[in-house]
Amino acid sequence: MNAPNELPPAEVADRHRRNMALALLAVSAIYGAKAAENLTGTDLKLYFEIVQIAMVVLVIGLFIPVVLWKIRHAASADLVDYFNEDGFAAHALVFAQKRSWILTFFALTMLEALDRTLSNVPGPVLLEIVLAVMLASVSILFLFKTFTDEEVDQEAGDVAST
């Protein structure tokens, strides 16, 4: 059962999903920095490595609250509500995943169209670019969807209360 100052499990799950989306955005930045590091000269290599390290620290910082909450509530009934897929963030995540696949295939099509231009780029670098696009698109779409839908809900609540 929840302590009086704790959030309900469904709201905690929504916040954790936002943390995961931010972590995916950071991981996409890591892939993007790796690809950029391989495509640019050695002058910028140190900066790209710093970006990668900072993003790894950010990902770890975003995962710690999620892991600690799950450890603390592992044997409680809160996990049933936590893993409920009927929540707002769960639906937003499905929305973002569907559109992300569309954007990823579009990016792959564009890379195919640029085949002659990118013939000197190694395969692993192209894979890093595709992963960066895929992870960034799913996380940005999820964050945009949750932000805009919450904003609309808040405005509707403000109008109803007046």
3-state helix, strand, coil in the chain (%, to 5): 80, 0, 20
Q: pLDDT (tens digit, 9 = 90+) per residue, 98-152?
A: 888 888 888 888 877 877 777 788 888 888 988 999 999 999 999 998 887 665 5
Q: Delimit the domains of the chain by residue range.
A: 9-161
pLDDT at res. 115: 73
Q: Is the confidence at residue 35, as pLDDT, over 80? A: yes
Query: pLDDT grade, residue 27 (50/70/90)?
Result: very high
pTM score = 0.76
Average pLDDT for 68-78: 77
